[in-house]
Structure 1
Amino acid sequence: MAVTSEHPSEVPEPYYYLWHLAALKVIDADFGAAPATPSNPDIPAVREACRPTVRSTVWDQIAAAGTVVPASVALIDVGICPDHPNLKTRLDRDRSIDLASHPFGARTIAKYDELDPYGPEQQETFFSDLDVTGLGDLGLSNDDKAYFDSLTAELAASRGCVRRLINPEALFGAHGTACAGLIAGEPAAIASGTGEVTIPETLFAEPGPEAEPNRNRNVLPYFGVDPFSRLISIRTSFDADPAQFICAFLYAYQQQADVIVLPRGLPDPENSRLEPKAELTTDAGLYQNRLMEDLVKRLSLAGEAEELDPKSPQPTESGRRLWRILRHVILGVSRKIPIVCAAGNSGESQLIYPANLAEDDNGIIAVGAVTVEGFRSGYSNYGHGLTLVAPSDDQEVINRHQLRVDQQSPFHARHAHVAGPAKEYRYSGLGLLTTDLPGCWGYERGDDPWSSLPLEDNPGIGGGYYTNFGGTSGASALIGGICSLIQRAHKTRHGQSARLGGVAVKALLVAACDQQRVVVPGFRPLTPDCMNSDEEDGKGSAYFFGAGLPDAAAAVQAALAS
């Protein structure tokens, strides 16, 4: 490989934006000497002008152990841009599926029939090989099991379609594209004379004679946590339709994915409801606030909340049955394949669904977010069930428990932010650089800050290939990449068909975590903060960070030794 401990490589400045890979120890990078007084609050945690030296990578460790074997990561999200230069060869098009526009699956073909471009849709059986016997007893009741059996039989006999339409993932897949880049984004290069995008033999050295750097100056030599693995896009919508999510998890299981990443919540009307906080209940009684009391009543009446709101959808037995089945399917699949879930972005001391299903006896990995300053990200959910954390961006917080403001904001001087009785925490301005959906539907809406190439040389109308991303979505995507590294290391030792179960991958990951880790290139170890109650920071590190921040290199070494 390109980078070894004997020959450190000076990395170009853009690689500084891959700080999160150093924080997770995917790369061993030297960001320079720490300040003499790191406790001085006037010294920023990160120096923007630093140019890290990369000594080694986890990719080198796996390659040194044997033949490079790719893993497959199923991303259940809104889709992945199929033409992004850093994702083009990482996306497994033949195994990807669109469940948002067809209940039994759809796929868009890249080639058109010149004789009949508007011909009828072709049919394809996406679930013909579905066999759920390997999941064992899912713990369903007799009635629910009979319903599930009929559902899987219907799926096995179903026929989806192949369409000659514009790929919806090229229009609406911004969130999935950003997560995909963090998982498996590759350095884009062009094979000489072909125009086809390909991954270079090395990640830090210049491509060899058979490849040359991508000539589009908008394209960065970007890479994710595991750029040697493949992505299976399982596109779903935001509809409260449990059937499509049952299909999504069963399809990932059928495709024998090594990792499943769900960087969002599912809208189960019962399991996704947050419990009212004791503090909120106390305040309601103290101030005799009728509106607040009514809110607490609505939140407390789990079985009657829908009846109190005549505009809310009324539950039916068949609808609840599907949600119950989905819960058991998620738990069953997680024991075979690790399922990485986002903890949520509401700053609550409760996790969203299905991250809140994470327990020691299943393979669900609930991921929170931390900043380079060592604090929980201002939006990140925390509390019981949180498995671990990963680097991400930050959010301002101004409440009676804490003050966290962006002092670099041009609007900061217009407002007098005084901490008062609240504790003040340092805001982090660093986010996660990742791939963006090119064009007006991406996060950057086609903005092009790198060059002024004419449109004909710049696919995507104006560029916008990259964006500053974050949230627990970004954090869970990073952990999904580490799970992929673990599976790939295991395959390197035991062969392509070998795969660790979800509980085993989770155990290796948790064992490689540390609650006292410093989030490099910062200098502060993981530090609890007050968010929703006074003196909340005294509840301990596990309450905020779970097992802590993982060391990818240690996890991979453990997988190689397993």
Structure 2
Amino acid sequence: MAVTSEHSTEVPEPYYYLWHLAALKVIDADFGPAPSTPPNLEIPAVREACRPTVKSTVWDQIAAAGTGTMVTASVALIDVGICPDHPNLKTRLDQDRSIDLASHPFGARTIAQYDELDPYSPEQQEAFFGGLDLTGLGDLGLSNDDTAYFKSLTAELAASRGCVRRLMNPEALFGAHGTACAGLIAGEPAANTSGTSEVSSPETLFTETGSEAEPNKNRNVLPYFGVDPFSRLISIRTSFDTDPAQFICAFLYAYHQHADVIVLPRGLPDPEHLRLEPKAELTTDAGLYQNRLTGDLVRRLSLVGEAEELDPNSPQPAESGRRLWRILRHVILGVSRKIPIVCAAGNSGESQLIYPANLAEEDNGIIAVGSVTAEGFRSGYSNYGNRLTLVAPSDDQEVINRHQLRVDHQFPFHARHAHIAGRSKEYRYSGLGLLTTDLPGSWGYESGDDPWSSVPFEENRGIGGGYYTNFGGTSGASALIGGICSLIQRAHKTKHGQSTSLDGVTVKALLVAASDPHRVVAPGFRPLTPDCMNSDHEDGKGSAYFFGAGLPDAAAAVQAALAT
């Protein structure tokens, strides 16, 4: 189902909002000849000239390799939840398999069939982990004591009972981040079947040759596409509490549901593994007493986690807590070898990755994702370093430090600031972000009117009625890579059957093989270029240090999967 339909010209956006799909070669788009200098995308006429012609899509390639029946892949998104009623996500979210681990230790789910529940009971029980079988994970490498503890934990999970609620779905209020990531992974056009108000899924449009569909008549709804609009999303909602048990349950549930891909667009608050090590150049300066402030910083970094132990009156961490964090680490590594786990590298601009992206190695299926801009540079906030697997397109951030200067010259009040590069190198700022789905209402990023308010649906305020937002970060980049992993799995299923899937290590290898550290990020014209962020001459450390294997070519990865 290519995006070159007769309705694609009705897109109300004045710029090509699916540029990231072209950058990843999910769609083959012709942007025309490259100009002698990078174009100013802030000028409407230039934006219109850069509107590409879509010639083909990866989705069509997968469909052409099949037998006429569209196969699907399941992407488990471990985040804060996904809006269940978003018109571009409604048919993509598998609500029967989604789970809320933030409000119940054994899982909760909200259903709309209120009349089927006991009116005198606020909730019903359900065994979300019933039949949990982890034999396929093999030996997780735990100690004997931790293995015994883990077995008792999983036995408790297998016998546990979660709940089904009649309350308002919490994901409709607090799932902005997850909703944005979900759109980048699997958003699809909200097409209405003619004469009805029913929303058609991509599979229906593909398999039912006699079905007639038309674009959604709500002017706030865009014909939006994620990287793989034929995949299904399993929302695994978790909180930000420092509770390792909920994250153990999250990864085990994704494995229990036989997810084809797991996306974790955030870090986990492990008190030991998330600690950043002092940089070598800082410790050298401190040792030579060249900078007292730097020396004090290194000393305080070195004492993180130790000061409490030095104070006998301070509360000590329980052994059971450390044990659960240890078990979680082994569970993540074990599950990644069976299912690819896509992790965000982090948004602090450090040359070290956040946890668990920093667990990425060649022998596991953890994919650590950094972000790059359409200007070909690492995003101003994106973490980088030796364990980075690859990168994906995202937005940018201004940087002003002694190593580099990156400012938004299109900002209206830029002239009021005296930013002089001096000894810093100046890098071009990119104003192009990722347009994606937003949580409608005041809790969304764009704070649109609530769909259930007195405002008529067609007159909803906010960007696209509050249904869309400009998004970015390594969260957005990791969501895009999660979509490519889904494409790889669907390509494999097309050849070998719906019930088959590639393991995490294989999917990661296919991604890396299809990546190029010198690719041009369309619609830009500059190849991936290192920058100085945290030290002088850092751009000389090589492209792999900043971009890992580079920017993936989704079409090449899919062709490799079809040939596997």
Q: Which amino acid in the other structure matches residue 482 of structure 1?
A: I
Q: Distance in 2 between matches of 1:224 and 1:4?
A: 15
Letter in 2 for 1:48: R
Shift of 1:62: 0.1
Q: CA deviation at 1:287?
A: 5.7
* Equivalent residue number for residue 190 of structure 2: 188
Change (3 A) 1:533 1:203: farther
Q: Which residue of 2 aligns with 1:497?
A: 499
1:373 is paired with a residue whose SS is coil
Aligned equivalents of 1:110, 1:283: Cα separation in 2? 61
The residue aligned with 1:109 is: 111
Assess if the C-alpha contact under 8 Å between 2:398 and 2:406 holds in 1: yes
3-state SS of the aligned residue for 1:334?
Answer: helix
- Please state how far the C-alpha of 1:547 moved relative to its aligned partner: 0.2
CA offset digits 1:349-387 (Å, max 9, x no partner): 000000000000000000000000000000000001000
Query: What are the ranges of 5 or more consecutive residues in structure 2 without an aligned counterpart?
Result: none
What is the rounded CA distance, in whole Å, between the counterparts of 1:455 and 1:255 in structure 2?
Answer: 39
Whether 2:367 is the aligned partner of 1:368: answer no
State the match for 2:34 in structure 1: 34
How many residue pairs get aligned? The number is 553
- Does structure 1 conserve the Cα–Cα contact (< 8 Å) formed by 2:11 and 2:223? no
Counterpart of 2:479, as a letter, is A
Kindly report which structure 2 residues correspond to 1:316-395, keeping only aligned pairs within 5 A, or say none.
Answer: 316-395=318-397
Report what 1:276 is aligned to: 278
CA drift at 1:411: 1.8
Residue 446 (structure 2) aligns with? 444
Q: How does 1:132-143 map to 2 (within 5 A)?
A: 132-143=134-145
Instruction: Tell me which residue corresponds to 1:215.
Output: 217
Superposed, which structure 2 residues align to 1:40-439 within 5 Å?
A: 47-49=46-48, 50-66=50-66, 67-113=69-115, 119-199=121-201, 210-285=212-287, 292-301=294-303, 304-307=306-309, 314-439=316-441
- Aligned equivalents of 2:281, 2:3: Cα separation in 1: 53
* 2:457 maps to 1:457: yes
Are residue 20 (structure 1) and residue 20 (structure 2) matched? yes
Q: Deviations over 1:187-214 (max 9, x none)?
A: 111223432222357999xx98632221
Residues 512 and 552 in structure 1, CA contact (< 8 A), matched pair in contact too: yes
User: CA-to-partner distance for each residue in 1:146-181, whole Å, 9 max, x for gaps?
Assistant: 000000000000000001101000000000000000
1:479 lines up with 2:481 in the alignment: yes
| Contact persistence 1:45–1:373 (CA under 8 A) | no
Q: Call closer, same or farther: CA 1:80–1:361 in 2, change over 3 Å.
A: same
2:531–2:539 Cα contact (<8 Å) kept:
yes
Q: In structure 2, how many angstroms separate the alpha carbons of the residues matched to 1:281 and 1:447?
A: 51
Would the aligned equivalents of 1:73 and 1:484 in 2 still touch at CA under 8 Å? yes
> 1:77, 1:115 → 2: CA distance?
28
Q: Is the 8 A contact 2:117 2:124 kept in 1?
A: no
Q: Structure 1 128/114 Cα, relative in aligned 2: closer, same or farther at 3 Å?
A: closer
Distance, in Å, in 2 between the alignment partners of 1:271 and 1:115 is: 44
Structure 1 residues 75-95: Cα deviation after superposition (integer angstroms, max 9, x where no partner)? 000000000000000000000
Q: Partner amino acid for 2:54? A: V
Evaluate the alpha carbon distance shift between residue 29 and residue 454 of structure 1 in structure 2; reply closer, same or farther with a 3 A threshold.
Answer: farther
| Aligned match for 1:527, one of 529, 537, 557 | 529
Pick from 512, 518, 540: which aligns with 2:542? 540
CA deviations over 1:274-299 (Å, ceiling 9, x no partner)? 00112333444556766654432232
**What amino acid sits opposite 1:78 in the alignment?**
V
Closer, same or farther: CA 310–43 of 1 in aligned 2, 3 Å: farther
Residue 470 of structure 2 aligns to a residue whose secondary structure is strand
Provide the TM-score with structure 1 as the length reference. Answer: 0.93
Higher mean displacement: 209-218 or 503-512: 209-218
User: What displacement does 1:141 show?
Assistant: 0.2
Residues of 1 paired with 2:362 and 2:185: CA distance? 24
Write the letter of the residue equivalent to 2:47. Answer: E
Matched residues in 1 for 2:535 and 2:199: separation? 51
| 1:439–1:214 CA distance, 2 compared to 1 (3 A) | same
- Indicate if the aligned counterparts of 1:515 and 1:547 stay in contact, CA closer than 8 A: yes
Instruction: Mark the CA change 1:55 to 1:270 in structure 2 (over 3 Å): closer, same or farther.
Output: same
**TM-score, length-scaled by structure 2:** 0.92
Q: Which secondary structure does the structure 2 equivalent of 1:384 belong to?
A: coil
Amino acid at match of 2:183: G
Task: Indicate if the aligned counterparts of 1:201 and 1:208 stay in contact, CA closer than 8 A.
Answer: no
Label 1:43 to 1:51 Cα distance change in 2 as closer, same or farther (>3 A): closer
SS of equivalent residue, structure 2 residue 214? strand
CA–CA distance in structure 1, aligned partners of residues 120 and 373 of structure 2: 50
Q: Is the 8 A contact 1:2 1:202 kept in 2?
A: no
Q: Matched residues in 1 for 2:485 and 2:301: separation?
A: 36
CA change 1:11–1:535 in 2 (3 A) is farther
Provide, for residues 509-546 of structure 1, a one-character-per-residue CA deviation record: whole Å limited to 9, x for no partner.
Answer: 00000011000110000000000000000000000000
Kindly provide the CA deviation profile for residues 47-85 of structure 1, in whole angstroms up to 9, marking residues without a partner as x.
422321100000000000013200000000000000000
Counterpart code for 2:101: L
Tell me, yes or no, if the aligned pair for 2:70 and 2:203 is still in contact at 8 Å.
no
What is the Cα-based RMSD across aligned positions, in Å? 2.8
Q: 2: distance between equivalents of 1:301 and 1:540?
A: 32
The one-letter code of the counterpart of 2:531 is D
- Give the CA deviation at 1:313: 6.6
Q: 1:430 is paired with a residue of what secondary structure?
A: coil
Tell whether the 8 Å contact from 1:3 to 1:55 is kept in structure 2 after alignment: no
Counterpart amino acid of residue 55 in structure 1: K
Superposition deviation, residue 457 in structure 1: 2.0
In the superposition, relative to structure 1, how do residues 33 and 291 fare at CA in structure 2: closer, same or farther (>3 Å)? Answer: closer
Is the partner of 2:466 in helix, strand or coil?
Answer: coil
Task: Identify if the C-alpha distance between structure 1 residues 361 and 209 changes in structure 2 by more than 3 Å, giving closer, same or farther.
Answer: closer
Distance 1:225 1:476 in 2: 12
Q: Which SS does the other structure have where 1:434 is aligned?
A: strand
Return the alpha-carbon distance in structure 2 between the equivalents of residues 91 and 112 of structure 1. Answer: 20
Deviation string, structure 1 residues 242-271 (Cα, Å, up to 9, x no partner): 000000000000000000000000000000
Question: Separation in 2 of the partners of 1:445 and 1:45?
Answer: 25
Question: Contact 1:406/1:429 (CA < 8 Å) preserved in 2?
Answer: yes
Q: Is the 8 A contact 1:298 1:308 kept in 2?
A: no
Inter-CA distance 421–557: structure 2 relative to 1 (3 Å threshold): same
